Amino acid sequence: PAASYAFRTAPRSCAAAWLLFHRQVTSPLTDQVKQLAERAHTPLVEMTETLPAGMTFAAWQTSQASALLAALR
């Protein structure tokens, strides 16, 4: 319960500089946290754990690293 509360309140309290979001796995809680982060203008970085069709491994990893780097700026 305490971890869930901290997870839900971090975007509102500006305790989160960005949010890594696994777009292949969602639940009502992860959807709620994503919405809270969007409302707080917290940068969202969507990641995947599987290689997208039509991409090389290097291109996929580069795109994920680039998304994270953009959020850190």
Tell me the per-residue pLDDT of 40-66, one tens digit each, with 9 for 90 and over.
888 889 999 999 999 999 999 999 999
- State residue 45's pLDDT score: 92
Looking up tokens 């989160």 gives: 16
Q: Rounded CA gap, 8 and 15, in Å?
A: 11
Q: Are 66 and 39 in contact (CB under 8 A)?
A: no
Q: Rounded CA gap, 31 and 57, in Å?
A: 28
Q: Rounded CA gap, 63 and 9, in Å?
A: 29
Q: Are 73 and 48 in contact (CB under 8 A)?
A: no
- State residue 8's pLDDT score: 65
**69 compared with 12, residue with greater pLDDT:** 69
